[in-house]
Structure 1
Amino acid sequence: MKLGDLEVATLDAIWARDETDARALHAQIGEARGISLSTVQSTLERLYRKGLLTREKVSHAYIYSPAETRETVMARLVDEALGRFNSRSHDGLLAAFAGLTASATPETLDALEQLVRKARRAKGAAE
């Protein structure tokens, strides 16, 4: 699965709002980018076909909602990126991640520590 910049911006906007239609999304991100309503509609359609959005027809318009959480989509993208290197070794990923944390804020590092602790507890409970 590949996501372009507009697709990522669209997903971010929908995750923040939980649901939206094309006109509201165009007002939120399309106008600032100088793109047309039909471009926003096409982007929503692509994300729907990729299984990342659900939609419900209300009157004459579709209301779009996220089909997956941000975390699930990010995990899928990382897994697919690792798969392209024909290796499941996480050494390179961990080294890259450690490099990124060097510039992280203390709050981000605290959040990361909490996530690691939570993952270890879940793994311990599963074993």
Structure 2
Amino acid sequence: MQLGELEKLVLHYLWENKSADAKQVHAYFEKQRGGSYNTIQSTLDRLYKKGLLSRYKEGHAFQYQAKIERHELIGQLINSVASDFVAEGETSLVAAFSSISNDLNVSQLDALELMIEKQRLKLEQESK
């Protein structure tokens, strides 16, 4: 999945603001970077069709919310890129994570270790 620059910005906005309609999003970005209301509407619709936003009708307008958490999207994007380069069962992806761990501090490594342990326990429970 590929995301345009405005799509990324809109996702960040909705992660911070939880819910907004096209007018609210446009008002925010008009101050920040300009652009038309129609461009914002189209961007919201594209993100909805990509499954990244949910929406519900409130009055005459849709209210949009992020359907996916930031960390989940990052995982999907990593998986999408990795699948182009890593064969099933290959350890290149693990090696890639190991190489970027040089950029992590001790607390980030501790958090990663905790997440790995939780995932390991979850997989063990599912296999029982």
Is this a same-fold pair by TM over 0.5?
yes
Query: Matches of residues 44-59 of structure 1 in structure 2 within 5 Å?
Result: 44-59=44-59
Query: Matches of residues 1-127 of structure 1 in structure 2 within 5 Å?
Result: 1-85=1-85, 87-127=87-127
Q: Percent identity?
A: 35
Q: 1:62 to 1:38 in 2, by over 3 A?
A: same
Amino acid at match of 1:20: A
- Whole-angstrom CA distance in 2 between matches of 1:106 and 1:22: 41
Give secondary structure in 1 for the equivalent of 2:42: helix
- Whole-angstrom CA distance in 1 between matches of 2:96 and 2:116: 17
Shift of 1:57: 1.8
TM-score between both structures, scaled by the size of structure 1: 0.81
- Give structure 1 regions of 4+ aligned residues with deviation exceeding 4 angstroms: none
Shift of 1:112: 0.9
CA contact (8 A) 2:52 2:68 kept: yes
Of 45-54 and 24-33, more deviation after overlay is shown by 24-33
Give secondary structure in 2 for the equivalent of 1:26: helix
Q: Give the gaps of 5 or more residues in structure 1.
A: none
CA contact (8 A) 1:6 1:43 kept: yes
- Whole-angstrom CA distance in 1 between matches of 2:105 and 2:45: 37
Of 79-88 and 48-57, more deviation after overlay is shown by 79-88
Give the paired residue count.
127
Q: 1:35 to 1:95 in 2, by over 3 A?
A: farther
CA contact (8 A) 2:22 2:41 kept: yes
Q: Give the gaps of 5 or more residues in structure 2.
A: none
Of 29-38 and 15-24, more deviation after overlay is shown by 29-38
- Whole-angstrom CA distance in 2 between matches of 1:63 and 1:103: 38
Give secondary structure in 2 for the equivalent of 1:3: coil
- Whole-angstrom CA distance in 2 between matches of 1:28 and 1:88: 43
Give secondary structure in 2 for the equivalent of 1:19: coil
Shift of 1:90: 4.8
Shift of 1:101: 1.8
Q: What RMSD, in angstroms, separates the aligned Cα atoms of the two structures?
A: 2.2
Q: 1:2 to 1:117 in 2, by over 3 A?
A: same
Amino acid at match of 2:77: L
Of 87-96 and 108-117, more deviation after overlay is shown by 87-96
